[in-house]
Amino acid sequence: MPSADQSNEVFARRPKRADARRNYDALIAAAREVFGESGAGASLEQIARRAGVGIGTLYRNFPQRRDLFEAVYVEEVRALSASAADLADLAPWDALVGWLHRFVAYVGTKRALAEELVHDSEVFRSCRTEIYAAGEPLLRRAQAAGAARPDAEFGDVVRLISGITAYQFPDPAQRDRVLTIALDGLRPPQVSSGAPA
């Protein structure tokens, strides 16, 4: 999990009043969309417009552009990590694959933000720790069930996913097809993708 200090520090700015909190959440959602569409260089005015607030409201919540990057990044990591629990009732292989599909969607947003964050920053490191804390148990569970190859480490899986997401796909269906092919490499040699886990 990320250090409590870092996670809480990023979200210490979250307002207490309901109306201010709605604006804050709207800005996070708008920034996630706009950064995903236009990259990290997207204008803050565009984000404020998308959120339905004035630019002054954006700056009150996020005095510096980096504050907004960090808040969106941490929010994405928290949602990704929490989603691992949503898959707990699935078969081990299905849970791992379901979470990895969510991880691929997350990396699309991450790419736009990570270029603006220093990779050895405490926030970046704590988020990486949280991702590993969510994903490693899913891999270990699939390995224990004989559905994933025993020699794979979660770091291998992260590099596999990162390699796939480094390319722009013409449509999500092709990306998902390539991911499915790649994930077949995580299966033990005797298990095919069509066989039950």
Sign of CA dihedral 85, 91, 97, 101: negative
Ranges 21-25, 40-44, 142-146, most confident: 142-146
Tell me how far CA of residue 125 lies from CA of 11, 79, 81, 155, in angstroms: 16, 17, 15, 14
Between residues 99 and 114, the one the model is more confident about: 99
> In the chain, what are the helix, strand and coil shares in percent, each to the nearest 5?
70, 0, 30
Residue % of the chain over a pLDDT of 70: 81
Between residues 111 and 46, the one the model is more confident about: 46
Per-residue pLDDT tens over the stretch 52-99: 999 999 999 999 888 888 888 888 888 889 999 999 899 999 999 999
> Taking all residues of the chain, what is their mean pLDDT, rounded to a whole number?
83
Q: Residue 193 domain-assigned?
A: no
Residue % of the chain over a pLDDT of 90: 42
Between residues 105 and 183, the one the model is more confident about: 183
Q: Residue 195 domain-assigned?
A: no
Q: Residue 191 domain-assigned?
A: no
- Predicted confidence (pLDDT) at residue 108 exceeds the cutoff of 70: no
Q: Residue 31 domain-assigned?
A: yes
pTM of the model: 0.75
How far apart CA 94 and CA 147 sit, in angstroms, is: 9
Average pLDDT over residues 113-130: 70
How many structural domains is the chain composed of? 1
44: CATH:
1.10.357.10
Q: Residue 197 domain-assigned?
A: no
What pLDDT, on the 0 to 100 scale, is given for residue 128?
A: 84
How far apart CA 26 and CA 102 sit, in angstroms, is: 22
Between residues 191 and 131, the one the model is more confident about: 131
What pLDDT, on the 0 to 100 scale, is given for residue 92?
A: 96
Q: Residue 113 domain-assigned?
A: yes
- Predicted confidence (pLDDT) at residue 139 exceeds the cutoff of 90: yes
Query: Token digits for 101?
Result: 């599909």
Task: Look at residues 116, 105, 117 and name the one whose alpha carbon lies nearest to residue 41.
Answer: 116
Ranges 76-85, 108-117, 124-133: which has the least confidence: 108-117
**Domain containing 8: what range?**
4-184
